[in-house]
Chains A and B, each alone.
Chain A
Amino acid sequence: MNNDKLIIGGHEFNSRFILGSGKYSMKLIEAAVKDAGAEIITLAVRRANTKEQESILDFIPEGITLLPNTSGARNAEEAVRIARLARELGCGNFVKIEIMRDSKYLLPDNQETVKATDILANEGFVVMPYMYPDLNVARDLVNAGAASVMPLASPIGSNKGLATKEFIQILIDEIDLPIIVDAGIGRPSQACEAMEMGAAAIMANTALATAGDLPMMAAAFKNAIEAGRKAYLAGLGRVLTRGASASDPLTGFLRD
């Protein structure tokens, strides 16, 4: 397991848990990162507030890779602008592309996401596009220079789990980039299941932000993700289509 690295755009990570930083107190970030064992944390880019002196960056432990998202972008052009601003903020060249046209379901616009991926990959960004799990689009993202593909499990913030399971499995089977399940994962068991399927990593925010004890839930996710990864590497046992198969010897019964 020690050699089992997650590689994104040539960067190696030991953790397969990408942590969100939204919807909870900045004061909990350090404990969340520690208990999650996370090495990557997502951030949003917003208009700066002149009144607030505290910066979220002061709450993120040293050595953690920052993954700014382009939330708020409604098309590729806006996503590109936000990504460039994020890079100008001076915290690396990773970007999670997030482009949404509606505010009810918050579903990603796959076509605009491919366009933005193409532009930003050409500008040297490590591009991690959030997308609706569609094999053709995933292939377009690969060709556009994505460093990973981030399909949604169910609508953002819903905690509903792997609603798109079959289609994520297709991406895992067919796409030669890390498939990172993003959005909708609500429970550690769902994260574990996605990892058993062969997902490369899990991104979660709301599942933690709305949990009773955030750092404890971060630890639960960490364990679940590690268990699922080990199960995937071990190779799951087969499932019988019908009947049963004894686990005990079929000889030596205490009878004549």
Chain B
Amino acid sequence: MVKINGEELNIAGKTVAEYLATTNYDPKRIAVERNGDIVPKAQYSETVLKDGDSLEIVSFAGGG
């Protein structure tokens, strides 16, 4: 299982790019962190998700 923004998903084996393609995220408007390290956009298609990985996918929101 891979944890994405706190939710466990059965997507081990997929790349970050393959996972993102199944979602509504706009790749230009997000940043991805895997196990505490940034995944640069250029590496989305070569970063394979492993069992136990934890991903944070973030974007900007209103704030002070």
Chain A contacts to B: CB under 8 angstroms = 20-24, 26, 42-51, 53, 55-57, 66, 68-69, 71, 81, 84-86, 88-91, 156-157, 183, 203, 205-206
Extra inter-chain contacts (11) besides given A20-B64, A55-B26, CB under 8 Å: A22-B61, A22-B63, A23-B62, A44-B63, A44-B64, A45-B58, A46-B58, A46-B61, A56-B60, A69-B64, A183-B64
Contact A50–B24 (Cβ < 8 Å)? yes
Chain A positions within 8 Å of B63 at CB level = 20-22, 42-44, 69, 71, 205
A-chain residues with CB within 8 Å of residue B59 when the two chains form the complex: 45-46, 48-49, 55, 89
Task: Using known A-B contacts A89-B58, A156-B64, A203-B64, determine if residue A50 contacts B23 with beta carbons closer than 8 Å.
Answer: yes
**Interface membership of B31, Cβ < 8 A:** yes
Q: Does B5 contact A (CB under 8 A)?
A: yes
How many Å from the CB of B26 to the closest CB on chain A? 7
- B38 close to chain A: CB less than 8 A: yes
Contact B24 A85 (CB under 8 A): no
Counting chain B residues whose Cβ lies within 8 A of the other chain, the interface size class is 20 to 34
- Residues of A close to B60: CB separation below 8 A: 43-46, 55-57, 66, 68, 86, 89, 91
In whole angstroms, what is the CA distance A24 to B61 when docked?
A: 11
Query: Per-residue CB proximity of B49-62 to A under 8 Å, as 1/0?
Result: 00000001111111
> Considering only CB atoms, which chain B residue lies closest to A82 in the complex?
B58
Task: Kindly state the separation between the CA atoms of A98 and B9 in the bound complex, as whole angstroms.
Answer: 32
CB distance from A54 to the nearest CB of B (A): 10
Which chain B positions have C-beta within 8 A of A205?
A: 63-64
29 interchain pairs, CB-CB under 8 A: A20-B62, A22-B62, A23-B62, A42-B63, A43-B62, A44-B62, A45-B61, A46-B58, A47-B58, A48-B57, A50-B25, A51-B24, A53-B26, A55-B29, A56-B60, A68-B60, A71-B63, A81-B36, A84-B33, A85-B31, A85-B33, A85-B38, A89-B58, A89-B59, A89-B60, A156-B64, A203-B64, A205-B63, A205-B64
